[in-house]
Copies of this chain bind each other. A is one copy, B any other.
C-alpha cells in the first residue's frame, strides 16, 4: 500500500463528500493507494481552515494554485463551480497530477474540449464526478444492458426531478442566474450521463427548456427551471429525458425505465437499493417485475456489507467513485467517466439549448 496525498479545492457539499470518501475508501475497498488529506483550498483562509479542522486535512489554503503546486498534493479533486474547472484542471494536468472534477465539466463546450485535450495529452487519470450512476443497482443495470438481458432496446425514459425551487415564493438566490446554475447546468447532466451510460451516444435531440418562475422575491430568474428532451440514440432507439427543480414532492427523482424486446429495467434513486427487472420468459402467469435488492452479488456492494439488502447510501456512491479514481491512478487505465465522458454530456446540453431555441431537432455534434 502506498500513501497518496489528496488536495481538494472546495469544501462545501461535494468537497466534504470527497473528503469523507478519501478518509474511508482505503479501509472499505482495501485499495493499494491510501489517500491522505493533504490540503484543502477555499476562497478565504478562514473557510479553508474550518474545512481543514472539520474534515481532518493537514493543511489549508485560500489559493488553489498553492494547493495544486504543493508537492505533497499528488492528486487533485475539483469541487468548485464549473466556470473555474478549466484553469484548475489545466494547472494540475500540466504538473501531471490526476484530476477528479465535479460535474458539469465546464461552462462552455470550448472549455470542456480543451480540458479533454489536456487530460488526454497529459495521459494521467481524469474523471468526472457523476456519482449517482455508481450505486450498485445502477451499475448492475448497466451490466444487464451490456449483456443484452432485455433484448433489443426500444424505449428509454430518464429523469432527474427534485423540488428545491418549486415554491414560487422562494427568494431569488444564486441558483437563479448563470446558465450553469440552472436546471440544465445543475440537474440535467445527471440523467443525460445516465442515458449515455446505459444507452450509448445520443444522435439528436428535440427539447423544450423553460423558466416557469421568472420572477422571484428579490429578482428576475435568468436560467431554466425544467426541461424535457426527446431524443434518438445512435442505435436508433427513441428516448425521453426530463429534469426539473420544480417537481414538488420529488426529492431524488433520478430514475429511468428502459424497455426491450425481451425485458425491462426500472430504477428510482429514491429507493436506491432496488432495481426492477422484468424478463419476458417463463409462463405468462409468473411474469412480473422483480424487485432486486442490492447485495454482495452486485457491483461494489460487498465491501460495504456482507448482508444483502442492508443498503448503501449517497455517501457510498462518492466512496465508490474515490475507489475508481484511485484505481485509475494506480493502474494508469482510464476509468469511466473520464473528461471525455463529461464532454459528451456537455455536447448534449448544448444541443438541447439550441433545439429549444429553434424548436427543431438538433444533431449532437461530437468533435
Contact = CB atoms under 8 A, between A and B. Distances in A.
A206 B226 contact: no
A27 B34 contact: no
A203 B306 CA distance: 35
A105 interface: no
A208 B154 CA distance: 13
Contacts of A306: 13
B293 A252 contact: yes
B27 A20 contact: yes
B293 A286 contact: no
A310 interface: yes
A54 B34 CA distance: 10
Contact of A274 (B20, B162, B264, B271): B271
A285 B140 contact: yes
A12 to B, nearest CB: 9
A311 interface: yes
A248 B280 contact: yes
Contacts of A277: 286, 288
Contact of A27 (B56, B163, B264): B56
A155 B259 CA distance: 24
Contact of A248 (B1, B240, B259, B359): B259
B311 A278 contact: no
A230 to B, nearest CB: 6
A292 B297 contact: no
Interface string A157-183: 100011100111000000000000000
A134 B34 CA distance: 29
B295 A251 contact: yes
A173 to B, nearest CB: 14
A53 interface: yes
Interface string A106-146: 00000000000000000000000000000000001000000
A353 interface: no
A69 interface: no
Nearest to A318: B305
Nearest to A292: B288
Interface in A212-246: 212, 225-226, 228, 230, 232, 238, 240, 242, 244, 246
Query: Which 9 pairs between the two chains have the least Cβ-Cβ distance?
Result: A251-B309, A249-B278, A313-B313, A252-B309, A285-B297, A288-B292, A312-B313, A249-B264, A288-B290
13 contacts: A20-B27, A27-B55, A27-B56, A30-B54, A226-B238, A249-B280, A252-B293, A284-B308, A288-B291, A289-B290, A289-B291, A310-B313, A312-B313
Given A23-B24, A226-B238, A228-B238, 16 more contacts: A1-B53, A154-B212, A154-B248, A155-B246, A210-B238, A249-B278, A251-B308, A252-B293, A252-B309, A270-B293, A284-B295, A284-B297, A285-B297, A290-B291, A304-B315, A359-B360
